[in-house]
Structure 1
Amino acid sequence: MDTLKSEEALMARWDARREPLVSVICLAYNHAEFIRETLDGFIRQETDFPFEVIVHDDASTDNTAAIIREYAARYPHVIRPIYQQQNQYSLGVPFSTRLFAQAHGRYIAYCEGDDYWTDPYKLQIQVDFLERHPDYVITYHDAFMFNGQGVLRSPHLQGRYRRDASALELMRGRPLSTLTVCFRNLIKELPPELHGVEVLDICWWSLLGAHGKGKFLAQIRPAAYRIHEGGIFSMRSSKQRIRMSLHAYYNLARYYQRIGDQALHDYFLIQVFCHALALISPPAKLVALGKALQNTSLNLLRRLSPTA
């Protein structure tokens, strides 16, 4: 930490504005082993605009809160700590989205306390693009997955996901590397249908898609997505991750049904069906598909048959 710049040096590049242009949201829980690297990645950002870092400690049982206090004492005008006495995640509280409403910035950047950024110009590049392109609502870039043994997957985004996203693709919950995003601060609260959803980033992209497109910025150095035993999503089994995504798609279908978007309602119902099929064994899958085909055929025959 001694090699980091002082708060005065950090703020020296900023213009006369004092209100932050970007709010960095960081959720932490038992991340004492990792969070210094995360916070260092924020402090090393080189920007010509003010930014704030909202660090939310969800009642950690290790030394995470003490480390956050150490950084907050050194950077009191940059780091805004929030300490919970009771774990909000276990209560089903979508606290990450609630932090958006508390953020002062026009833009939101997101990185959890076990991941970190590697490019000191990340925020500057993303904000410069969003300021010049009002038809884009979110920017994102590359990441790599790693654990204690080394890099597991690089890049994190593969194939067709390494490009820009249309508004419709975002509304359909297009996969992004969440630790790389910077987006317009437009989501102040979740629709009631999305309360209790664990895979909230899918919901965020879908809601943001109503406001514009997504930009993939290949020039930003990849961020580091850490896989470890305490990871909420990454260490879940394949079936658990599918169930979590299925739940998100089902609730998005309910939301779009309520607001009258039939196309998106149907799209997310198809995703529910596909994810449900992925959860069952191959023999049971054949039986389910056979029954679905049989029911479809009977319904078609009824429609084609002349009425009495």
Structure 2
Amino acid sequence: MNSRPESDIMKNWGPAREPLLSIVCPTYNHEHFVAQTLDSFLAQQTDFPFEVVINDDCSTDGTAAIVADYARRYPGIIRPQFQSENQYQQGNHPCPGLFRLSRGKYIAFCEGDDYWTDPFKLQKQVDFLEHHLDYVITYHDAVAFNEHGMQGVQLQGKGQRDATSLELMQGRPISTLTTCFRNVLHEMPRELAGAPLTDLVWWALLGAHGKGKYLGDIAPAAYRVHSGGVFSMRSDKKKLQMTLHTYGALANYYFRIGNVPLYEHCQVQLFGLSISAISPLKKLLALALVARNVSVNLLRRATSSTARG
């Protein structure tokens, strides 16, 4: 349990008390983890005010009591939200509402079973965004771990570099618990409201506002893999289905707003994912069908061109 008093956290904030940044933290049945998560928030050393907007989605363990105790001890920082019915099970993701509740110019995100390891993380991310208006989001590394130990960096290669606006709009993966972004996600388009991979949807929407910055000098955050994890413990088949559903939702959204290149990008992703989801024999049948459709389309274009000639 964190012993750092609230006055010590606020001592460098200056006279302003309106938060510049809001930490958004959804939690559910994280009794064994949420104290470590909150402690990692309260360990942050900043020269600006921040708040913690934490939502307990009607946990059935002791999570709500732990959150309430922290809110009592840190009333100027922690703003708890307690649900009387589980909203996630009803298809209502808590984050759009939490984003709207957030008073900060920036939002940092971390679920109640993960935690941060760098006490200067928020200061570095906010400093960058304050001085680079063409960027909308910053992020860094995260290390996955379970009860047996570390499993390695969550995203490597492409994940460890900056992202263009286009790459964000295409739904490029980012370690969600590492992000700090501008508070511009106030409404969710109807096509994207039910997308399972909500983080890919957020990055896509943020891409319309700017670029992404990878900050390699921030110590990796800790991504916990456990049996209660909403995504980490899903089967590979289920994860694939969730990704298909999400790209389908993005395709519908881009079709409605008339962005043909992004619509076609999502369709290509859907095609590749669909092929990988079926058996080898079905792959051959699907590729044969694609070849047939391409041949028919080419023939129609040739016939139309000849007729016009």
User: 1:90 maps to which residue?
Assistant: 89
Q: Which residue in the other structure is 2:235 paired with? A: 237
The counterpart of 2:191, out of the listed 190, 193, 212, is 193
Report how far residue 307 of structure 1 moved: 4.1
| Amino acid across the alignment from 1:167 | S
Letter in 2 for 1:102: L
Name structure 2 gaps, 5 residues minimum: none
Amino acid at match of 2:257: I
* 1:49 match: 48
For 2:113 and 2:94, locate their aligned partners in 1 and report how far apart those are by CA, in whole Å.
Answer: 17
Pairs within 5 Å for 1:142-161: 142-153=141-152, 155-161=153-159
Any idea what the Cα deviations from partners look like across 1:24-55, whole Å, max 9, x if unmatched? 00010000011111000000000000000011
Name which of structure 1's ranges 134-143 and 91-100 shifts more when overlaid on structure 2: 91-100
State the alpha-carbon separation in 1 of the partners of residues 159 and 293 from structure 2. Answer: 36
For residues 18 and 231 of structure 1, the distance between their equivalents in structure 2, rounded to whole angstroms, comes to: 35
- 1:217 Cα offset (Å): 0.2
1:1-308 paired onto structure 2 within 5 Å: 1-2=1-2, 4-153=3-152, 155-305=153-303, 306-307=306-307
CA distance in 2 between partners of 1:6 and 1:282 (Å): 60
* Cα deviation code 1:125-178 (max 9, x no counterpart): 00000000000000000000000000112x211112210000100110111000
State the alpha-carbon separation in 2 of the partners of residues 204 and 215 from structure 1: 15
Distance between the aligned counterparts of 1:23 and 1:71, measured in 2?
Answer: 16
**Helix, strand or coil at the partner of 1:32:** coil
1:17: Cα distance to partner?
A: 0.8
* Distance in structure 1 (CA, Å) of the matches to 2:296 and 2:163: 40
How much identity, in percent, do the aligned residues show? 55
| Secondary structure of residue in 2 paired with 1:90 | helix
Q: Distance in 2 between matches of 1:15 and 1:252?
A: 43
Q: TM-score, normalised by structure 2?
A: 0.97
Q: 2:228 corresponds to which letter in structure 1?
A: G
Displacement after TM superposition at 1:302 (Å): 2.7
Using the alignment, how far apart are the partners of 2:196 and 2:302 within structure 1? 44
Q: By how many angstroms is 1:239 displaced?
A: 1.0
TM-score for both structures, normalised by structure 1? 0.97
Give, in whole Å, the separation in 2 of the partners of 1:210 and 1:197: 18
After superposing the two structures, state which structure 1 stretch, 34-43 or 277-286, moved more: 277-286
Q: Which amino acid aligns with 1:178?
A: T
CA distance in 1, matches of 2:94, 2:112: 15
The offset of 1:290, in angstroms, is 1.1
**Secondary structure of 1:42's match?**
helix
SS in 2 for 1:297: helix
Structure 1: gaps spanning 5 or more residues: none
Question: Which letter maps to 1:254?
Answer: N
